[in-house]
């Protein structure tokens, strides 16, 4: 065999090896540590490629990854886990439930804004604005002056407006906790700028966030992004011209 043929053979082998490496897929089962309990709906992220998958109801996951890639396993009430992919194509992952102290720290961080807003509402009540500015009918019989003050007074009006603002703030805070630039970047494998533009286009409602699990949220975001990619040029010209995918599908 000539040198030229030898080189051609070597190049073909290298190409075949590279293609195989690029298409490598690993799978595994996720357990609660020290038990045989499997964990469903764990978000699995390849930190190199930003590919995102989720474990099924049996705790089984499949994701594209090469040896040396780091996988991030994330689920509420469990401590985040990072695992470096080795040569094995099948793996067992063991996640640890957070301690009560760790859960309390997470809870404290998430409720800081709620506490701050609650303190302001208590200040309003301290000024005489009781019942969040919505007095029960019985209050007029018990104390007509207080009842009229609650209904028509300036402070109760401000309290009602602030209560409405508080509700909107807390709902938006809950949306931002799950749907944010980092989540969108990781789910769609896009950069900061593109993620920001997409978030400006699509924002799930509080009701959606409240009922969707992580798998449903990822599925909806991917579907909305496909629609956004097709229609983002018309959107740039007239943002009211194109409806979100869910709305367009219903119409």
Q: What is the pLDDT of residue 123?
A: 59
In tens, the pLDDT along 192-240 reads 888 888 888 888 988 898 898 888 999 999 999 998 888 776 555 444 4
Mean pLDDT score, 163-178: 75
Mean pLDDT score, 18-43: 80
Task: Say if residue 127's pLDDT is above 70.
Answer: no
Task: Say if residue 95's pLDDT is above 60.
Answer: yes
Q: What is the pLDDT of residue 87?
A: 87
pLDDT-based confidence at residue 57 (cuts at 50, 70, 90): confident
Choose the weakest-confidence range: 61-75, 79-93, 165-179: 165-179
Q: What is the pLDDT of residue 157?
A: 59
In tens, the pLDDT along 151-161 reads 445 555 555 65
> Could you tell me the domains of the chain?
3-95 (2.60.40.1120), 114-176 (no CATH), 183-250 (no CATH)
**CA contacts within 13 A on the Cβ side of 130:** 10
Higher-pLDDT residue of 4, 101: 101
Q: What is the pLDDT of residue 19?
A: 45
Sheet holding 90-95, edge to edge: 60-64, 25-32, 90-95
């Amino acid at each position: 065999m000539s040198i030229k043929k030898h080189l051609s053979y070597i190049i073909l082998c290298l190409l075949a090896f590279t293609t195989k490496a690029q298409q490598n897929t690993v799978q595994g089962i996720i357990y609660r540590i020290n038990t045989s309990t499997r964990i469903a709906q764990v978000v699995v992220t390849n930190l190199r490629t930003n590919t995102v998958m989720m474990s099924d109801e049996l705790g089984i996951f499949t994701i594209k990854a090469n040896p040396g890639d780091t996988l991030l396993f994330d689920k509420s009430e469990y401590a985040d886990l990072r695992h470096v992919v080795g040569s094995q194509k099948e793996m067992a992952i063991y996640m640890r439930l957070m301690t009560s102290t760790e859960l309390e720290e997470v809870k404290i961080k998430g409720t800081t804004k709620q506490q701050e807003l609650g303190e302001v509402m208590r200040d309003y009540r301290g000024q005489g604005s009781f019942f969040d500015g919505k007095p029960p009918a019985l209050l007029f019989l018990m104390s007509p002056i207080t009842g009229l003050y609650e209904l028509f007074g300036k402070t109760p009006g401000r309290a009602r407006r602030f209560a409405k603002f508080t509700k909107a703030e807390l709902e938006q805070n809950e949306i931002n906790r799950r749907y944010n630039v980092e989540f969108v970047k990781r789910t769609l494998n896009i950069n900061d700028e593109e993620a920001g533009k997409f978030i400006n286009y699509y924002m799930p409602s509080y009701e959606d966030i409240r009922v969707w699990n992580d798998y449903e949220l990822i599925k909806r975001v991917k579907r909305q992004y496909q629609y956004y990619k097709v229609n983002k040029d018309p959107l740039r010209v007239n943002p009211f011209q194109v409806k979100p995918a869910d709305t367009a599908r219903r119409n």
